[in-house]
Amino acid sequence: MEITVSHYIVLSAILFAIGVYGVMTRRNILVVLMCLELMLNACNLAFIAFSKLHGGMAGHVFILMTITVAAAEVAVGLAFVVAIYKQRQSLDIDLLKILKG
Amino acid sequence: MDLSTVFQSTSLIVPEIVLMLFGMVILILSPIVKNQKNDYFLYVGIAGVVLSFVLNLGRFNSEAIAFSGTLRIDNFSAYFNSLFLFSSLVTVLIAKDYLKKNTPYINEFYALILFCTSGMMILASSVEFMTLFVGFEIMSIAVYILSGFDNTSTKSTESGIKYLVLGGFSSGILLYGIALLYGATGSLYFTEIISNFSASPMYIAGISLVLAGFVFKIGAVPLHQWVPDIYQGAPLPVTGYMSVAVKAAAFAVLLRIVLDLAILPSGYLLIAVQVVAVLTMVIGNIAAIYQSSVKRMLAYSSVAHAGYILVGVAALIADRSVGGQGILYYLFAYTFMNLGAFAILAYLSREDRDCDTFDHIAGIWKRKPMTAVALGVFMFSLAGIPPTIGFFSKYRIFLSAVESGQSFIAVIGIVASVVSAYYYLKVLVYAFMKQDEYGFGSHKPVSSVAITVLAIATVFFGIIPAFSWELAVEASKNLLAIVY
């Protein structure tokens, strides 16, 4: 079977869905951050596939931007993880409920 | 693209570059300077914002395209940039008093505000998705850090990580939407996306995901649950900044996208915006009534105000000749009144605790009568009672809904804003009629100047709106005149 562009699109959609599911259900902040990365990387895969389809470079360049942004986001996220772990000795999302009305 | 084009494009974004350079100077020099007691970097930050503001004034009444058509600099972006720069200036001034003793990293705070504002300015000028995404993330990541800025407070870090996870989630959705639009049309430019339009499922899914990403950022129902948590946990000046500037930036892009890309199926789009606007107004206002924390109350009130602005968006979709001015003017008005409300909360906060519950504002009238009067001005304005700017802007928004033939939505909006008067006036009941039990923070000279300016502007533009209204009309003309 030949692998075509549409296979990559389906794969990226599946990866994106796994990422969304993970962000919604996982209880550990680190795993949630990993699932966010998965979402962004699914987008990267889609960009590459579409770039191949249309034959332009815009998709390739966009990925460089996305990778940078994802790295910055995770750097900030890990800083928060450290601050939260220092305060509570736990990374369980269910403990983040001080703020409520 | 030769070198002179690059220079020419670069010269067009000097206000953004100035902000970034000043931010970097603060970041690089602040660890070197030994004497942390002095406010050198506050002055550097203020100088950066003011310089950028002055340079931005030169953008009014000019039109230019920079960086091979990715940035469009016109009245529209100049108008929004002035709002962002003004609100960042006020935020820096309030933060100076508020953060002084709480945190050792105050210089980084100024730098982050400058970076965040430059991201917003790029966002307001962008007409291409790559630029849009980069501007969006420069803004977002800086705001994540700002909302979790006080790392000694469990509330602040909790607010920071929640905002990061949910904001990252929304930017993932936005990015996937952009990828689908790119797949459907083969371009990232708004112009080319619209000229390659086809009613394919991929295009519609893409535009829906992009809109969902922005609905999250403006905090409209159904993606509004993050707003109260994050507004309550973030440091007060940051909350004011988020509620005003981040929301205005998201609306700026939303307007461009709604007007340019979401042409079809516009019948569905109109219904969707109407439903979201009504739900946002109703749920925001009802939830605000039940809050015991003033911060959360103002957070839900900012959800409700997003709903009023969405009424204007619905009017704009139905009839392009009305609506735009109202939205732009509303964001202008909202900048003054909401920043003012949060500035007063920051002003009343003590070092050991924020001004949070209604009891904390009880009895201001006896202790600080001028602050109480200013609070009254802002609450009246938020509730839309004349002669304040809030009344005029709400009048314009609902008038545009009526003019575009959607009177029912205007009626719902008016009823909702009557309901909102209940919780705004409740603040004043506590401020003027109750006895003070807790005591307030010490006098903060810089904040009080900022509050005075905001309060005077709120009343002044309410009585004489002509000048500011003209600006909004000009800027919206520019938005509509773009022919792709």
Mean pLDDT value across residues B377-402? 92
Name the residue in chain B with its Cα closest to that of A20.
Answer: B169
Q: Please give the interface size between A and B, counted as residue pairs whose CB atoms are below 8 Å apart.
A: 130
pLDDT of B344 reads: 92
pLDDT tens sequence across B11-48:
999 999 999 999 999 999 988 886 666 778 889 999 99
Mean pLDDT value across residues A14-26? 94
Under the banding of pLDDT at 50, 70 and 90, the label for residue B236 is very high
pLDDT of B222 reads: 87
Q: Is the pLDDT of residue A7 over 90?
A: yes
SS3 B73: strand
Q: Is the pLDDT of residue B480 over 80?
A: no
Residue B27 and residue B111 in contact, taking contact as beta carbons nearer than 8 Å:
yes
pLDDT tens sequence across B83-137:
999 999 999 999 888 886 656 788 889 999 999 999 999 999 998 999 999 999 9
Residue B220 and residue B306 in contact, taking contact as beta carbons nearer than 8 Å:
yes
SS3 B186: coil
Helix %, strand %, coil % for chain A, to 5? 80, 0, 20
How does DSSP assign B327-345, residue by residue?
Answer: HHHHHHHHHHHHHHHHHHH
Indicate yes or no: CB of B169 within 8 angstroms of CB of A20: yes
The token duo for B178 is 């952009």
Residue B314 and residue B403 in contact, taking contact as beta carbons nearer than 8 Å:
no
Residue B336 and residue B86 in contact, taking contact as beta carbons nearer than 8 Å:
no
pLDDT of B67 reads: 87
| Among candidates B141, B172, B187 on the partner chain, residue whose Cβ is nearest the Cβ of A72 | B141
pLDDT of B35 reads: 66
Under the banding of pLDDT at 50, 70 and 90, the label for residue B353 is confident
Q: Is the pLDDT of residue B263 over 80?
A: no
| b/e map A44-80, b = 16+ CB within 10 Å | bbbbbbbbebbeeebbeebbebbeebbebbbebbebb
pLDDT of B256 reads: 85
pLDDT of B145 reads: 94
Q: Indicate the residue type of B302.
A: S
Q: How many CA atoms lie within 13 A of B197 on its CB side?
A: 14
B323: left (phi over 0), alpha (psi -120 to 50) or beta: left
Indicate yes or no: CB of B183 within 8 angstroms of CB of A29: no
Between A14 and B207, the higher pLDDT residue: A14
d(CA B284, CA B305): 8
pLDDT of A101 reads: 59
SS3 B74: coil
Q: Which of residues 136-165 of B touch A (CB under 8 A)?
A: 137, 141, 144-145, 148, 151, 154-155, 157-162, 164-165
B221 backbone dihedrals φ, ψ, rounded to 5°: -60, 140
pLDDT tens sequence across B355-371:
888 888 888 888 888 99
Query: What is the ipTM score, two decimals?
Result: 0.96
**In chain B, what are the domain boundaries?**
281-484
Q: Which of residues 262-291 of B touch A (CB under 8 A)?
A: 287, 290-291
pLDDT tens sequence across B160-214:
999 999 999 999 999 999 999 999 998 899 888 888 887 788 988 998 899 999 9
The domain A5-95 having CATH identifier 1.10.287.3510: the answer here is yes
pLDDT of B484 reads: 44
The token duo for A2 is 């030949």
How many Cβ atoms are within 10 Å of B194's Cβ, its own excluded? Answer: 15
**In chain A, what are the domain boundaries?**
5-95
